[in-house]
Chains A and B, each alone.
Chain A
Amino acid sequence: MIEFKQIKTERIRRLVAVVAILVTLYYLYWRVTGTLNHNAPVLAWSLWGAEVFGAITTFLFYFTVWRPINRKPPEPLTGRKVDIFIPTLNESVSVLRTTLLACNDITYPHRTLVLDDGGRAEVKKLCEELRCVYLSRKDHRHAKAGNLNFGLDNSDAEFIAVFDADHVPLPHFVDRLIGYFKDEKLSFAQAPQEFYNIDSFQHRTDYRKKYIWTEQNLFYSLIQPGRDRWNAAYFVGSSALMRRKALDDIGGFARESVTEDMLTSIRLHAKGWRSVYHNEHLAYGIAAETILPFHIQRVRWGLGGWQVFFRSNPLFIRGLKFSQRLCYLASLIYPFEGFQKFIFYVVPPITLFTGILPMNALDIQYLLHFVPYYAISMFAFNEMGRGYGGSLMLEQFSMGKFMTYMQTLGVFLLPSKARRFKVTPKGEGKAPRRLLVPQYTVILVSMTAIVWALVQLVFQLRNDEFIIAVNSLWALYNTGLGIAIIQYARQKISQRRSDFRIPDSVPVLFRNADGSGEPRLAVANNLTRDGLSLLYVGTIPGRRPLKLDILLPGRIIEVSGTALHEKTVEAGDIVICRSGFRFDQVAVRKQDELSRYLFESAVGKFLREYSNRYETYLERTFQDPKEYRKRAGRTLSYLPAIVPEHGGKDTFGVIRNISPTGFLFASQKEFAAGEILKAVTVLGEKTMTLEGTISRVLAGESGDFPIHMAGVRLSEPHSPDVDYLIGIAEKGDNLVNR
């Protein structure tokens, strides 16, 4: 999360946006008055219309994010009654179990209500086990909205927290949000949805550079803070705390759209209620893993968009402010994007096949207008996107969903009985080829058109060489978008909801299953409820059961497990081994402990290691270098280490990264800056000591699983020992990320 006000370039980027708007207006005026090819009116007007649509969405985007805000949480209200609603239909019990465990850990006094539209006995049993309230209605009308209203009927709480069944809240969720309700007119406080499966279809992750981009990055990191400025932040169906009175005021959750969240927000704002967006990750969910759930989700969103646009259009609803109308309009017109992109994908092939241009000429005059317009537009978009934009990646997703959005208009026009509401499936979702037919078609048609036109050009059957060249490049770009989407749709997903592996590292002591032998220190990586992978400097003995003491912060989980597979790599005179372990018959209580650790501590910890924004050009140019100081090159490391204590109770930890001048040590012990730290790294049979001064300390956010990071500046930098350890760390990192 960034503090927008502190960015010195805000004024400059807003000026850039104004210039971009003026240039765009002039360009569109010039296009319509002087360039349209009236011999091809359909093509000409279609392209111009697509350009106008692009301009409108861009202008609305600039308006929305003109002055985004990030709020600091006020002191929580005490003694209020809070109910947590978990609507569910067909999510698995294991998914629900994790969510309910986390709900139970929410520190603010509350009840947890499971609203099961599936009417399943196993869910009822789970609720009894975890002391949650189980509710199931007889009729299932109005889908999720109806289910939530059913929950309202069975609740008398002043505040309602809503989570999707796969959203795992953090213990301080309510504490962070309830303070905002000192404002009596506040209807809801919304937190972002953060997704932990960073190899999903929606994620673009650079593991080396520790950079994550998700398709909804821009929305949660910038658009919602931008809307918050205009009192137009909207409820997104999960991770929100709502005032019961406000919901009652509008007759409960809106039932008239499958995107009940947006329509509910519109009605609340129209009635004069306020909303708040609190930009801090307070719950973790799972993003659409493959293109199938992505497609189903977007069909629903698209359909909901059409429903609201045509039946409850915020432009015409009484009570909304002009700024709110514009913000909602920006969020409502997205299904039209499908048609816009379709035009952008078909124009180049049409021109390449027929030679017919949508404009009079593709000449120097055109380029002199288009190139500056496009350049300033892209620059302004990236700047106003505050580093969250990723225009190229947004284009990829536009390619991925253009047909989906076009299709939703057809679905919308169908009689409502012919439509079926589909929940976004979580977990394994194989990508059916039919979903990729539009992208394959774009690629095939574009490439055929390019070949066709180039052959004609080479044999001098046509002399519009520049037109062919430019349209070929455009068609190639579209091909690239299509290939990217197909690649991501077909990639192997390693993270599954049922087997979520967090790339966290915790120290583990292991020995023979019968307890014999000396315990050896290793690092567990990719921890799940059912297993872990163990990184050890040395050889792990064969495929026989081992006893593992997982040294979680604040507690030790004792399990036994058997190695299923093993990889080794040589690093000079030593061998590094990585083994995948499955636990043998672990008690559910222990699994729950692991699950709680994973979601309440580890997920946040590993996600914080990733950045979800880049520095924009203006920031790189004008920002005070001190504020954007580059860190020294560090090597990710999974080295176990012990800080010996007087009195015998040693502290176990992990060296998370190391450089020639320092290292980062993670453990459950709290150190103070300025303290001398002596860490003994354990390399199988031998040890090596690193000593230095703690220069900074970072505390984890989980109170139940306290983890502390200490940045240590080495007393003896660039020593041969450090170089040796860096070499081992590099090999270990390669082994983990192989």
Chain B
Amino acid sequence: MKAMIFDKKNIIWLILLYGFFLTALDLDFTAIFVDEAYHINIGHQLLDGSPCPGCPFATGYVFMHPVLAALGDSAGGLEGARMVNVILGLCLVFFIYITGKTLFSVKIGVISAAIFIFSGQTPYLMKLATYDMTAAFFLGASMMFLAISFKASPGKARSAALAAGMFLLFLASITKYLIPVFVPLIVLYALYRHRFSRAMIVSLLSAAVLAALFYFYAPYSPRTEVMGQIRDVQSGSHVSFVTLADWTLRWVALGYLLAVFGMMHEKHGKTAAVFTVLSLPIILVHLVTGAEQSVNKNMLYALVFIAPAAAAGVERIGDIFSMRSPSRALKRFFIAAVMLVFWAYGINNFRWLQKQYPDASAMIGFFEKNGFDGMTVVMNGWDSDIYRYSLGSKFPNARYVHITEAFRKDAGGAPIAVPADFVICEDNYYGRMYPCGDYGDYLDDDYRLIEHFMFELSWGVTDARIFGRR
């Protein structure tokens, strides 16, 4: 029994089990997060055949994950929607194991999978019904098939693996429009490994044709909207290079440090170096553009490549720290110790990430108790979808209006105010761009503070106030 559990090949199942327990048993850890609400709502619109032009702005104009999330939501509510990514995430862990096993060794495959699931981003994004994990799933699957094609003998199996790899790369690209930043290097690497073989060229051209068709005919095509959105993000979330470098690498610095050791691996150093390079585009995109939005989530894609390189590094560290002792036990001890350090590092990041956004549960509870069907709620954030999703079944006719729409002035400067039943002010978080203090003329006389919620987050404390009409 003991031998079976500690067989290298079987450890992958323990890792998957760990991932499952860490994520699937705690899917109601917060109320719905605003991005999840966007995705699920848009997915339902697509499934209902009534896509809403302009609505997918907040989701990056994609449809692959919203549809999957909406299906999950239909099956099991928010937890069902989140479960989709848990399943995809566990599959991705397995893909990374296969990639590591194929290109390096079973041991490095197992360590790759462990590094990936131990990283804070992975369980965190598995528990969120957003497109991040879905895109990573396709990206990881693509790399797995490409790795298989690198090792397969020339023939149908290799061609099929290559074609699958390219097709999955296309799917990853249309799941999140940031993924194409990885494509040039991956394609170059595949071309190099396959020495410009006919199968490689055919697979590449097929994927290119699919991409062209998608570009022109798909719903929410990236032709115009996406480029505009990228510019908006870039201008709206710009921070200094040093700050951004710290924020970016905070999540993957240890992985990269281990990958440096991977590059020193006597046998697999070159492949580890290639994987490290493959991981870099996403980091460069952030550093070059200066955009900080979603930086912590986007590091997931770097991890897909860094995990095998870092795993090679862990094996190398095992050699170095055991001083190349012939004792296998000593080497295992050091590998286990490094993995323990990585796990603690990752679990800390995971907990930090889980508490980076305010949990709207208390406010939803407030409305469930004090709200009514047909109520009008004004808010200074863009989080109306949270309430629309959470309260939709109870108050189908409730209206959620942004403060800039509710309290404005007409062309002559006369104030126009939508009569609101409740006003939500979150001056430090969702609504920090439109603090309620700017709307004192409307609020002071007609509204009174009903409830004040405090949120202890990873990076500090924020609050939300709910006002009711006098």
> What mask results when residues 323 to 361 of chain B are scored 1 for a CB within 8 Å of chain A, else 0?
111010010001001101110110111011000000000
Shortest C-beta distance, B442 to chain A (Å), equals 40
The chain A residue sitting closest to B337, CB to CB, is: A476
- Verify B323–A466 contact, CB threshold 8 A: no
Interface of B is mostly: helix
> What mask results when residues 119 to 133 of chain B are scored 1 for a CB within 8 Å of chain A, else 0?
000000000000000
Which residue of B246, B253, B320, B324 is within 8 Å of A477 (Cβ)? B320
Which residue of A465, A479, A483 is within 8 Å of B345 (Cβ)? A465
- Verify B260–A472 contact, CB threshold 8 A: no
The chain A residue sitting closest to B256, CB to CB, is: A367
Shortest C-beta distance, A383 to chain B (Å), equals 15
Binds B, one of A48-56, A62-70, A259-267, A454-462: A454-462
> What mask results when residues 31 to 62 of chain B are scored 1 for a CB within 8 Å of chain A, else 0?
00000000000000000000000000000000
- Kindly state whether residue A60 has any CB partner on chain B within 8 Å: no
- Verify B348–A457 contact, CB threshold 8 A: yes
- Verify B260–A371 contact, CB threshold 8 A: yes
The chain A residue sitting closest to B318, CB to CB, is: A480
- Verify A364–B334 contact, CB threshold 8 A: no
- Verify A364–B338 contact, CB threshold 8 A: no
Complex Cα distance A11/B447, Å? 81
- Verify B341–A469 contact, CB threshold 8 A: yes
Which residue of B257, B323, B337, B341 is within 8 Å of A367 (Cβ)? B257
- Kindly state whether residue A651 has any CB partner on chain B within 8 Å: no
Shortest C-beta distance, B257 to chain A (Å), equals 7
The chain A residue sitting closest to B120, CB to CB, is: A465
Shortest C-beta distance, A540 to chain B (Å), equals 31
- Kindly state whether residue A481 has any CB partner on chain B within 8 Å: yes
Complex Cα distance A473/B316, Å? 13
- Kindly state whether residue A47 has any CB partner on chain B within 8 Å: no
Which residue of A367, A468, A473, A484 is within 8 Å of B344 (Cβ)? A468
Shortest C-beta distance, B208 to chain A (Å), equals 36
Complex Cα distance A146/B323, Å? 42
- Verify A481–B253 contact, CB threshold 8 A: no
Complex Cα distance A463/B344, Å? 11
- Kindly state whether residue B86 has any CB partner on chain A within 8 Å: no
- Verify B320–A392 contact, CB threshold 8 A: yes
- Verify B246–A363 contact, CB threshold 8 A: yes
- Verify A454–B254 contact, CB threshold 8 A: no
- Verify B325–A466 contact, CB threshold 8 A: no
Q: B residues 289-347 with Cβ under 8 Å of A?
A: 317, 320-325, 327, 330, 334, 337-338, 340-342, 344-345, 347
- A466 contact set on B, CB distance < 8 A: 250, 253-254, 345
- Verify A476–B338 contact, CB threshold 8 A: yes
- B257 contact set on A, CB distance < 8 A: 367, 469-470, 473
> What mask results when residues 285 to 297 of chain A are scored 1 for a CB within 8 Å of chain B, else 0?
0000000000000
- Kindly state whether residue B230 has any CB partner on chain A within 8 Å: no
- Verify A483–B330 contact, CB threshold 8 A: yes
Complex Cα distance A463/B345, Å? 10
- B337 contact set on A, CB distance < 8 A: 450, 476
- A458 contact set on B, CB distance < 8 A: 344, 347-348
Which residue of A367, A457, A470, A480 is within 8 Å of B321 (Cβ)? A480
Q: A residues 169-197 with Cβ under 8 Å of B?
A: none
Complex Cα distance A460/B330, Å? 30
Complex Cα distance A220/B112, Å? 43
- A392 contact set on B, CB distance < 8 A: 320, 323-324
Given A364-B253, A463-B352, A469-B254, A396–B323 Cβ distance below 8 Å?
yes
- Verify B349–A465 contact, CB threshold 8 A: yes
The chain A residue sitting closest to B331, CB to CB, is: A480
Complex Cα distance A700/B317, Å? 42
Complex Cα distance A466/B254, Å? 7
The chain B residue sitting closest to A477, CB to CB, is: B321
Which 6 A-B residue pairs are closest in the complex by CB-CB distance?
A480-B321, A484-B323, A454-B344, A472-B341, A469-B345, A465-B348
A and B contact pairs by CB, cutoff 8 A, 16 listed: A392-B320, A458-B348, A460-B348, A463-B348, A465-B349, A469-B257, A470-B254, A470-B257, A476-B321, A476-B337, A476-B338, A477-B320, A479-B321, A484-B323, A484-B325, A487-B327
